[in-house]
Structure 1
Amino acid sequence: MTGRGLDILRRVKSLGQLRRTGALDVHRIDDEGLLLASPREQLVDVAFDGRRIWSFWLHRDGEPHDEGHLVRWPKPLRPYIDGTTDLTLTDPGSGAVLHSAAVHLGEKQERIEVVNPAGRPLALDKSLKLVETFDLRDAAHVEPLLDAIEEVLGALREVGLDAFLAYGTALGAIRDGGLIGHDSDADLGYVSTYDHPVDVIRESFRIQRALTDMGYRVTRYSAIALKVHVRESDGLDRGLDVFGGFMRDGTLYLMGEIAVPFRRDWIYPLGTASLEGREFPVPANTDEFLTATYGPSWRVPDPAYKFTTPASTIELFNGWFRGMRTGRAGWHGYHKRTVHQQPSVSAVAREVVERHPDLATYVDIGCGRGADVAFFADRGTRAIGLDFQPFAYEAEAQRRADDPRVSFQLFNLLELRHVLAVSAWVARTPGPRAVGCVHVIERLGHRGRLNMLRSARMMVAGTTGALHLQFLSDKGRDGYARRTGARKPLDPAVVAAEVAESGGRILHEVRERVSADAGSSQVCRMIIDWNV
């Protein structure tokens, strides 16, 4: 047993107090995790100082161990596991306390606080994301969400859709009459009148255009799943997920997780259910709908629930609708992790200034937090920031909302629709134009890199501009790859071959270490054009 594990023993009067008889035996709780034993599967809520932080199933989520199962602290929670807390393990079904003890984890002596930079409490949801779950919000924070749900449902009705509460939002309304405490977002769904995936996709894009024309900001999860952003009455921007679905040959396909035998009259005409005192539309047969969603035990709360979607359903949905968000979660995690790092102007941006003194438009593919976009805008040059993760550039976009020289746009190099449409739009901006792309292609495959080159070629067409590319060519021991999100190096010879395949030529190439320190990483910079 480690020293910190022994520290727990010193804080209780006897081993009997630590190792409770009955459903759960606690062998140790330390920096590694919780070593617990139970003869049967056990659902456990973990609370710090009386506040629920996390839930798990012991056998499902733990690693088999000689003394039971070791449940490791989830990765998003580990940075906070440093200090002291009164830890409680509870059975969420019965409310029975399975174990309670004061613990000391890590090195600090202060109380453990799992909060965001604004000091608001966080907890892990069923996807193991640290979020503000509903059980942490008071009525003042819930009312704006309910307003947003009503607003989006009304907007969807205006564009011809009878939408309803779906997934966890429907479960909370139908089972409990309120929001589920361990949930963190609101889900809506609809079932199209079309029965072919292509027609359902076309309808979804029509809906997106209509909502955009109504003034809503809309982002897309997949070909038939959207997030509609609403500015709530408390000033927060909230995104509500809208999942499209359709019926075909007696099967309900609802984007996300559902492909089951179903009847349309189990959905329409819609019924209603009360959510926090307000009536909202829900499917006509709530039992059949929630059984299709969560299984026959949907009436039993499970804060650690995980969807076990059949491989056949995943394959169908991937083939029909997905592919638009591949890799986005990784970039989201990177930008959240580095949000407090001070952004700096890249060497590529300074190189562009020297090479193109008459530049009219600069385009940054993979703009991140927009440092290079701001740099060019402040010099009087029109600047366009393109990124797969709007979370990254959102703050800079808000700061520059009234600057006509600045534009930010969602851009997905793995989706040909984005590549062609956005690149054609950029090609109509004033020239000369130059394109920068810094530490993006390392995380793309061959198809993604060719799409980036195709995009850059379209953007600089008809001008004297060029693509200025920087990527990691040798990974050192300096942490540079992690700081930049590059992950792993890319062979310049591979890039050169792809440039040739795209019809381009390399005008200039340089490789240099990022610092004079021994073992530092190396980057490669290329200037590429297609003016042949």
Structure 2
Amino acid sequence: MVEDFEPRWIEGWIAVAPGTPAVTVTLRVNRTDLVTTLVADPAKRRVPGAEVRRFRFRVKELWDYIGTHDRLAVVVDGRPLPIAAHGTVYRPRSNGPHRLQELKDKLAGDHVFSRSGALQVAKNLDTAWQRRTMTQAGRVRDFVSERFGLDAFFIYGTLLGAVRENGVIGHDSDIDLAYVSGHRNGADAARELHDIAFALIDSGFRVLAYGTHLRIANEIEGDKDAHVDLFHTYFDEHDVLGFPYGVSGVVDVRASDWTGVHEIDFAGSTGLLPNCAERVAEALYGTGWREPQPGFNWDRDRRTRAADALMPRAWTQQIYWADFYEHTGFSTPSAFFEAVSARADVPRIVVDLGCGEGRDSVAHAEAGRRVFGIDRSQRGIRRAEAKAAELGLEDRLSFHECDVADTEALASVVGRARAEAGDEPVMFYLRFFLHSLEEETQDALLSSLDALSRPGDVLAAEFRTADDKANPKVHRHHYRRYQDGPAFGAALAQQHAFEVLEEQEGIGLSPYQDEDPHLYRVVARRSGGTS
């Protein structure tokens, strides 16, 4: 049964007699077999007297080459499978910009569908990509060895390519490395990965953190995203090698199996491979690992993972913003600052919540205001302090590492601002901050501001709205929570005793490179003050 014919993938399942060898499943367009996959491992679904096996074709760019006149089918043993709500043939609803023959020519040449479904030159043939990526892999391997005494060896798709194909898998997209932590519990192993991330950033690497691994990038030979993925593993109290990213097989790698690593020639360079590489491959991918499975998908096929070694979101966000502030800076204030600063009623004392590297804090100080910048990113605060010192603005600027969810710490900083303000009002300035908070944190912050603000205080905020969610982003990996702007303004008035003085919503407010976000701006005054 084919369950889904979606733009990103085509997936379903087959039922076979228990113990049946790997079965070939083919995606056919008209009379041409375009993509095949072998399915060998049982799935969780149950059918009486049969073994269910799932398949998935990631072919998101297929639709650019087919049209309403084409017919798609998924075939097993020469017979088409039934397609939910479509019989045995699927007819595309629209025409792609290219011809099917162009796709056939590419697939007959050096192109394949990648793991994400994009058409790419097969990585086993792309020697320039191999050279760049293996250069990055070597740098990461040397760094982890020299700084932490750990061996970074091939894992996941790279290990699979090394032991099955003696090289890179054509549809792969990166080099996967892992190390075995010396720690014996998940929390300590996760903390070690966190520490490695910060050490990498300090040494000039670009780092994007997930709960399960680090993506480590640098510009090499003009490729700004030559990257490798670094995974952490550890032997638990039962001497079983734990994989936080997960495994789809049913066998374990035990301490007794592990005898270290050895160096191999790979993709024009060298790398480390576990001595028990085939055991690791079976643990990761199951008994069918020796045969290519283009439809393999971790979200669907992952059987288990060492969940206690996942890095929490707070840590991955720390790493993200440390990397961002280390490599991103602005020499001019934001458009929101210009709009707010032009008002005649801006207080002399400013509390810049989510100040980052101090971009608008500096601008407020240069405009003659006393600014207290708050951010939970130590790296951002460090950059902001350096900028203040460079510009000789230390007397007008102070920066404080503080999580706004920590009500006592927030109250302490606001108390300092209040002491300098005396009887004057304070402005709480929140540019591009609220959409970076989870809802419960925003609620806690607004409750704190309820308690800390006085009549006459001003709140100025700018954030992304729900209408911005689908728009392309320059910084794709920011955490963003899109919300209803006018509803926020109404809540300020109805729930938090702020009178809305000005509000705007739309595009054109703060264009950035190729991005023109849909934003909401509001300036409000705490009720009870002078008008």
Q: Same fold per TM (> 0.5)?
A: yes
The Cα shift of 1:310 comes to 5.9
Partner Cα distance (1:511, 1:204) in 2: 44
Q: Which residue of 2 aligns with 1:256?
A: 245
Higher Rg of the two aligned structures = 2
Task: Assess, with a 3 A threshold, how the Cα gap between structure 1 residues 167 and 441 changes in structure 2: closer, same or farther.
Answer: same
The Cα shift of 1:437 comes to 3.3
Q: Secondary structure at the match of 1:298?
A: helix
Conserved in 2, the CA contact under 8 Å of 1:83 and 1:105? yes
The Cα shift of 1:450 comes to 3.4
Which AA in structure 1 matches 2:522? R
Which of 11, 26, 37 is the matching residue for 1:44?
A: 26
Which AA in structure 2 matches 1:213? D
Answer yes or no: is 1:437 the counterpart of 2:431.
yes
Which of 305, 316, 322 is the matching residue for 1:313?
A: 305
Conserved in 1, the CA contact under 8 Å of 2:233 and 2:244? yes
The Cα shift of 1:526 comes to 4.7
Deviations 1:31-71 (A, max 9, x none): 999899999765336799x99799798x99xxxxxxxxxx9
The Cα shift of 1:353 comes to 4.2
Answer yes or no: is 1:492 the counterpart of 2:488.
yes
Partner Cα distance (1:510, 1:183) in 2: 51
Task: Assess, with a 3 A threshold, how the Cα gap between structure 1 residues 302 and 34 changes in structure 2: closer, same or farther.
Answer: closer
Which AA in structure 1 matches 2:205? Y
Answer yes or no: is 1:323 the counterpart of 2:305.
no
Matches within 5 A, 1:223-262: 225-248=213-236, 249-258=238-247, 261-262=252-253
Conserved in 2, the CA contact under 8 Å of 1:270 and 1:282? yes
Partner Cα distance (2:293, 2:279) in 1: 19
Conserved in 2, the CA contact under 8 Å of 1:352 and 1:434? no
Partner Cα distance (2:59, 2:428) in 1: 40
Partner Cα distance (2:65, 2:113) in 1: 14
Which of 118, 140, 145 is the matching residue for 1:157?
A: 145
Task: Assess, with a 3 A threshold, how the Cα gap between structure 1 residues 309 and 435 changes in structure 2: closer, same or farther.
Answer: farther
Which of 151, 163, 169 is the matching residue for 1:174?
A: 163
Partner Cα distance (1:53, 1:253) in 2: 34
The Cα shift of 1:470 comes to 3.9
Answer yes or no: is 1:469 the counterpart of 2:461.
yes
Which of 171, 176, 182 is the matching residue for 1:187?
A: 176
Task: Assess, with a 3 A threshold, how the Cα gap between structure 1 residues 31 and 278 changes in structure 2: closer, same or farther.
Answer: closer
Q: Which residue of 2 aligns with 1:336?
A: none
Which AA in structure 1 matches 2:241? L
Q: Secondary structure at the match of 1:313?
A: coil
The Cα shift of 1:211 comes to 2.6
The Cα shift of 1:157 comes to 0.6
Partner Cα distance (1:293, 1:525) in 2: 51
Matches within 5 A, 1:243-322: 243-248=231-236, 249-258=238-247, 261-307=252-298, 308=300, 313=305, 316=308, 320-322=310-312
Task: Assess, with a 3 A threshold, how the Cα gap between structure 1 residues 492 and 215 changes in structure 2: closer, same or farther.
Answer: closer
Task: Assess, with a 3 A threshold, how the Cα gap between structure 1 residues 81 and 261 changes in structure 2: closer, same or farther.
Answer: same
Which AA in structure 2 matches 1:444? E
Q: Percent identity?
A: 17
Q: Secondary structure at the match of 1:236?
A: strand
Answer yes or no: is 1:145 the counterpart of 2:133.
yes
Which of 512, 520, 525 is the matching residue for 2:522?
A: 525
Partner Cα distance (1:324, 1:496) in 2: 27
Conserved in 2, the CA contact under 8 Å of 1:481 and 1:488? no
The Cα shift of 1:189 comes to 0.5
Q: Secondary structure at the match of 1:155?
A: helix
Which AA in structure 2 matches 1:169? T
The Cα shift of 1:141 comes to 2.5
Which AA in structure 1 matches 2:199? A
Count matched residues.
415
Matches within 5 A, 1:64-79: 77=61
Deviations 1:3-57 (A, max 9, x none): xxxxxxxxxxxxxxxxxxxxx9x9xx99999899999765336799x99799798
Partner Cα distance (1:269, 1:208) in 2: 24
Q: Secondary structure at the match of 1:228?
A: strand
Which AA in structure 1 matches 2:285? Y
The Cα shift of 1:489 comes to 2.8
The Cα shift of 1:513 comes to 6.4
The Cα shift of 1:142 comes to 1.7
Conserved in 1, the CA contact under 8 Å of 2:436 and 2:481? yes
The Cα shift of 1:297 comes to 1.1
Conserved in 2, the CA contact under 8 Å of 1:144 and 1:233? yes
Please give the TM-score of this superposition, normalised by the length of structure 1: 0.56
Partner Cα distance (2:469, 2:203) in 1: 42
Deviations 1:452-489 (A, max 9, x none): 987x99xx99xx9965224588x7xxx66645987553
Which residues of structure 2 form unaligned runs of 5+? Answer: 17-22, 44-54, 81-90, 104-109, 319-332, 378-386, 392-401, 473-479, 508-517
The Cα shift of 1:233 comes to 3.4
Give the RMSD, CA atoms, in angstroms.
6.4
Task: Assess, with a 3 A threshold, how the Cα gap between structure 1 residues 497 and 237 changes in structure 2: closer, same or farther.
Answer: same
Conserved in 2, the CA contact under 8 Å of 1:227 and 1:239? yes
